[in-house]
Amino acid sequence: MKPWDAILAASAREGGAAFLPLIDQERVEPADCRAFAETLTEAGADGILVGSSFCIADRLDGVVRELKRGTDLPVILFPGNAHHVSRHADAILFLTLLSGRNPQYLAEEQVRAAPRVREAEIEPIATAYLLVGGAGSRTVHFVSGSPPIPGDRPEIAMAHALAAEYMGMRAVYLEAGSGAEAPVPPAVIRKVRDYVSIPVIAGGGIRTPEQAAAAREAGAHVVVIGHTFEEDASPARLRAFARALHGPVIPTAAGD
């Protein structure tokens, strides 16, 4: 099964959402990655994302290679620019920052990256990347020079997501920004999910299993969690997030 199909199959199991922990290659030691991948796999992750919107050291290859030594799960790149391509990965979210109007992230980086992706022989997953709401400016806003879609204007996110579908993209990523004070509002996830037929990825600012569950209950197919695991990635905590995304849905008021 191709990596993206494997992620979607995991998402469909039990009607849950796929659990994709995000590793920032700038903030881990390659030597630690094999063991970390084993821990993530045992805890119930469905794949591992690797990426950073701001990159100084070029350690991507080493991190991905070591992760792959510790897991059979798909390791998927989450690139900040055209240089973030590694042949050791299984796939890459081929992102278009569709909520922005900066040509660098709408076309330039993609044109530079495409031959590298082909050369690396990894699966490109065409994904519309939408920055949504949230308090405070995040690194991704600064680096990309693009403000987010206001979190209280779901119709704007919906229009962008539908455009992505009509452009032939395979997923839409609703992003609050890494370490955001609050996740993408579940109401926005729900409205986008109901409006388009491509899979919805949600991430940014999710710090608790309850917040992860809220994103899943709002209809996210895939939930990405990164920053909080830099503070505590104990197996018990990882398992709690996996349960929140995979277990039976417990109705909450979130998203209503």
# chain residues binding ligand 1GP, by CB under 6 A? 14
Of 130, 137, 141, nearest in space to 172 by CA: 130
Site for ligand 1GP (CB under 6 A): which residue of 74, 100, 199, 203? 203
Q: Where are the alpha helices (DSSP H) in 95-208?
A: 103, 109-120, 139-144, 154-166, 186-195
Question: Residue 175, interface with ligand 1GP (CB under 6 A)?
Answer: yes
Site for ligand 1GP (CB under 6 A): which residue of 73, 93, 128, 225? 225
| Cα–Cα distance measured from residue 47 to residue 79, given in angstroms and rounded to the nearest whole number | 16
Q: Which amino acid is at 85?
A: V
Closest approach, Cβ 118 to ligand 1GP, in A, equals 25
Closest approach, Cβ 119 to ligand 1GP, in A, equals 25
Question: Residue 226, interface with ligand 1GP (CB under 6 A)?
Answer: yes
Stretch that binds ligand 1GP, among 9-17, 94-102, 149-157, 226-234 (CB under 6 A): 226-234
The residue (of 30 and 179) whose beta carbon lies closer to ligand 1GP is 179
Residue 162 tokens, joined = 């539908």
Residue in the structure block whose two tokens are 């993530």: 40
CB atoms within 10 A of CB 203: 26
For 145, phi and psi rounded to 5 degrees?
60, 35
The residue (of 41 and 228) whose beta carbon lies closer to ligand 1GP is 228
Q: Where are the alpha helices (DSSP H) in 44-87?
A: 60-70
Looking at residue 179, what DSSP letter applies?
T
| Cα–Cα distance measured from residue 97 to residue 39, given in angstroms and rounded to the nearest whole number | 32
Question: Residue 178, interface with ligand 1GP (CB under 6 A)?
Answer: yes
Q: Are 16 and 247 in contact (CB under 8 A)?
A: yes
Closest approach, Cβ 29 to ligand 1GP, in A, equals 18
Q: Where are the alpha helices (DSSP H) in 91-138?
A: 103, 109-120
Site for ligand 1GP in 65-84 (CB under 6 A): none
Per-residue contact flags (x/-) with ligand 1GP for residues 123 to 162, judged by CB under 6 A: ----------------------------------------
Site for ligand 1GP in 19-38 (CB under 6 A): 22
Site for ligand 1GP (CB under 6 A): which residue of 117, 227, 244, 254? 227
Q: Which amino acid is at 66?
A: E
The residue (of 64 and 225) whose beta carbon lies closer to ligand 1GP is 225
Stretch that binds ligand 1GP, among 3-11, 68-76, 178-186, 192-200 (CB under 6 A): 178-186
Q: Where are the alpha helices (DSSP H) in the chain?
A: 3-12, 30-43, 60-70, 103, 109-120, 139-144, 154-166, 186-195, 209-217, 227-231, 235-246
Looking at residue 108, what DSSP letter applies?
I
Note the residues at the interface with ligand 1GP (CB under 6 A): 22, 175, 178-180, 203-206, 224-228
